[in-house]
Amino acid sequence: MNERVGTSVLRLTGISKVYGEGPTRVDALRPTTFEARAGEVVAIVGPSGSGKSTLLTIIGLINPPTAGSLLINGEPVITDGVAVTNLTTMRRRELGYVFQRSNLIPFLNAEENVRLALEIDGVPAGQARGRARELLESLGLAKRLGALPGKLSGGEQQRVAIARAMIHQPSVVLADEPTAALDSGRGRQVMELFRDSAHAHGAAVLVVTHDHRTLDLVDRVLEMEDGVLSEKQPD
Amino acid sequence: MMDLAVRDIRNDLSRFLLTAAGLGMLMSVVLAMTGIYNGMVVDATVLPDTYGGDLWVVQKGTQGPFAESSRVPALLADRVRAVPGVARTRSYMTLNVQHELEDGETLRFMLAGLSWPDDLGNALPLAQGRALRQPHYELVADRALGLPVGASLRLGRDDYTIVGVTSGMVSSSGDPLVFASVSDALRIQNDLASEALRLERESRVSRVRRSPYGRDPASLARAGSAAPLPVTAPPPVTAILVDVAAGSDVEAVKASLQGWPDISVYTIDEQRELLVRGVIDRARRQIGLFRALLVLISAIVMGLIVYTMTLDKMLSLSLLKLLGAKQRVILRLILEESLLLGVSAYLVALLIGELAFDLFPRRVLVQDMDRLALLGVILGLSIAAGMVGLRKALAANPNEVLAS
Ligand SMILES: Nc1ncnc2c1ncn2[C@@H]1O[C@H](COP(=O)(O)OP(=O)(O)O)[C@@H](O)[C@H]1O
Ligand SMILES: [Mg+2]
C-alpha cells in the first residue's frame, strides 16, 4: 500500500459549469463541492447527459469551470474559476486519464505508450522503459510489450491505458466509462485493476460507469442527476 | 524523450517512402532544370571556349558569328596578320549540315572548320582516336553524332573518315560538332549547296563571264602586272580569329582593327556575353522561370502533404496535449517529420539525378553548389511546411480525445 493513502488529493469547492447562454444555456454542472482521498475508488453513476463527463473534464483540467475552486494534492489549481497554476504541468504530473477507447497513441507500442507518460516529464528513457516494463508485466502484459494498440484486444488496450494513467504516480486518475467497450467479465477485471492500483499507487480514482454490477468493487458511489452530484446511499 | 517522429514514420513506412519518392521526383525535376540551365550555358560557349582566340573579326555591323550570320573574305586573315601585335590568325567557319544516311536516318550536326596547318584540333577534348593529320578527308566528330573512329561519311562528293571522337562538343543549339579543315568544310559547303548557294555560284560564273578576263583569259597575261585582281576569290569564311602576341595589348590590337571599314571586332569575352545574354537568353530565362515555378509547386505540395500528415495525427496530438506534453514535444514531432520527408526526397532526387541525367539528350550539368542549394531550398520548404502543420497541430484540443 502507498504511504499517501488516506490523504486528501482532490478538493472541489462550488465548481459549476454553464454551456452557452441565453436560450441555449445549459447548466451542465450545478455548484459542486466534493473531496477524494488517495487510494479510494469513487464511482460516478447517472443518466446520460447528466453532467458526468463535464465534471471529469473539469477535474482533468481540459474544460474550464464557470465558477468555483479546485485543489489537487493540496495545491490551488483553480481559484474562483481562474487557473492559478500551469495546467499543462499539472496534467503531466498529477493526473492520469483512461477513456472508453482511443486512449493510446496508435503508432507507439504498449511499452512506448506507457513510457511516454514518464518521458514527457523528463524521466530518462532507460529508467522509463524499465518502470513501464515492470508495470505492464505486473498487469499480465509481458508478452504484449511490443504490440501496437491496433494489435491489442479491447481489454489489453484498457490495461495498457491504466498502466499509462498510473505509471507517473498521479494524485488523481480519471476514467470515463472505461469498461463500456468491454464484456462484463473484462469490465470487472478492469474495475479490480483500478481498485488495486489506487491502493498501490496512492491515487484517487474517479470512474464514470454504467455497469452497476461492478459497484461492489468501489469505495464510494456518487450519483449525478441534472448536474447535481450527491452521495448514493448503499442499497 | 523517445523519438515520436521516427516511430510515426516507421508505423507506416511504405506510405512515407512513397511520399518521399514522389516528392523526390518533383525535386529531381528542379535539379534537372538547374542542370539543363547550366548545361545550356556551357554548351553555348563550347565553340568560343574551344577555339579560343583573343579577338574575333567578323563582318562589319554584325554580332557574328554566333548571334548573327557573318561573312568575311578568307584573305582577310592575311591582312589582319600584318597588324602589329597579332601573333596568329585562323579562319573560322561553321556550317549546319543535315545529312541523310543510306538507312534513311538523318544526321544533324554542325561542321566547324579548323585552320590547317595552324590548328589540327589538338586542343579538342578527344575521347578516342586522334586530331587531324591530313589537310583533307579527315573528320573529328563528337560522340553525340554516334559514329565511331574509322567510320566513313560521304559528304558532298567525297568520302571522309572519322579519325577522332570528342565528348561534350555541341553547338549552342545542342547539335554535335564535327571538325574538318577549313578548306574541306568550304568544299562540303559548296557541294552540299542548297538552291541559294547554287544560284550564288551561277551568279559568280556569270560575273566571271562578264569580266574581260573571264571572256578572254589571255588578256590577263597581256595586262601583266597592271592587271587588277581577279574577281574570283576563295569562298568567304565566317570570322577570322586573332591570337595576340605575348606582351601585346589585346585592347590596343582591337582598337587598331576597329578602324577598318569592313569589319567589326569582338574580344572572346564579348563573344561569350553575346551568346549567353543574347543567343540563349530567352531559353535560359524560360528555364529559370520554369524552375522557380517548380519550386513554388513543390512548396505547395510539401505544405499539403505535411498538413495531411498532421491531420492524420490529430487524435495522437490531442492525446499528447491531454497527457501534458510540452509544446516543444509537438513542435519536434511535426518539424522532424517534415524535415525527414524533405531530406528523404532530396536523397531520392540525387539518386534520380545520378541515374538519369546522363541519359538526357543534352548536357545536364549539376554541380556541388547546385546540390547544396537544392538541399537549402528543401530544408526551407520542409520548415515552412512544418509550420503549416504546426499551426494545425497546436490547435489540437485535448477534449477531442473524449469526443472520439
Ligand atoms: N461542449 C458542450 N457544449 C454545450 N453543451 C454541452 C457540451 N458538453 C456537454 N454539454 C451538455 O451538458 C450536459 C452534460 O453533458 P455530459 O457532461 O456529457 O453528460 P454525461 O457525460 O453525463 O452524459 C448535456 O446536456 C450536454 O448536452
Ligand atoms: Mg459522458
Rounded to two decimals, the ipTM of the complex is 0.92
- Closest approach of B385 to chain A, Cα-based (Å): 22
Residue A2 lies in a domain: no
Q: What is the CATH number of the domain that holds A213?
A: 3.40.50.300
**Mean pLDDT for chain A overall:** 92
Is B5 an 8 Å CB contact of chain A? no
Task: Answer whether residue A76 shows pLDDT above 90.
Answer: yes
pLDDT tens-place string over residues B165-209: 998 888 877 889 999 998 888 888 877 766 456 666 676 777 677
Exposure of B239 in the CB half-sphere (CA atoms within 13 A): 31
Residue nearest to atom 18 of ligand 1 (CA): A53
Q: Which ligand places an atom closest to the C-alpha of A26?
A: 1
Residue A25 lies in a domain: yes
Q: What single-letter amino acid sits at B218? A: A
Best CA proximity match to B385, nearest among B319, B344, B349, B337: B337
Q: How would residue A99 be classed by pLDDT, with cut points 50, 70 and 90?
A: confident
pLDDT at B46: 85
Q: How would residue A235 be classed by pLDDT, with cut points 50, 70 and 90?
A: low
pLDDT at B354: 92
Mean local confidence (pLDDT), A40-66: 94
Best CA proximity match to B243, nearest among B56, B2, B388, B27: B56
Cβ distance B399 to A62 less than 8 Å, yes or no, reads yes
Pairwise CA distance, residues B32 & A163, whole Å: 53
Exposure of B318 in the CB half-sphere (CA atoms within 13 A): 18
Cβ distance A92 to B325 less than 8 Å, yes or no, reads yes
Q: What single-letter amino acid sits at A87? A: L
Ligand 1 atom nearest the C-alpha of B399 is: 1
Q: Which residues line ligand 1 (CB under 6 A)?
A: A 19-20, 26, 28, 46, 48-54
- Which cell is B62 given? 554584325
For chain A, positions 94-113, list CB contacts with chain B under 8 A.
Answer: 95, 97, 99, 101-108, 112
pLDDT at A68: 96
Q: Is the pTM of this model over 0.95?
A: no
Q: Provide the domain count of chain A.
A: 1
Which helix (H) or strand (E) segment is A40 a member of?
none
Angle between helices A154-166 and A125-138 (to 10 degrees): 130
Residue A102 lies in a domain: yes
Residue A165 lies in a domain: yes
Residue A40 lies in a domain: yes
Pairwise CA distance, residues A113 & A107, whole Å: 9
Is B1 an 8 Å CB contact of chain A? yes
Residue A190 lies in a domain: yes
Pairwise CA distance, residues B319 & B396, whole Å: 9
Q: How would residue A90 be classed by pLDDT, with cut points 50, 70 and 90?
A: very high
Pairwise CA distance, residues B358 & B32, whole Å: 11
Residue A128 lies in a domain: no
Pairwise CA distance, residues B347 & B375, whole Å: 9
Mean local confidence (pLDDT), A203-209: 95
pLDDT at A105: 95
Best CA proximity match to A43, nearest among A188, A184, A176: A176
Best CA proximity match to B167, nearest among B226, B209, B127, B217: B127
Residue A173 lies in a domain: yes
Is A117 an 8 Å CB contact of chain B? yes
For residue A27, the enclosing domain spans 8-106+154-231
Q: Is B53 left (phi over 0), alpha (psi -120 to 50) or beta?
A: left
| Residue numbers in chain B where pLDDT is lower than 50 | 195, 229-231
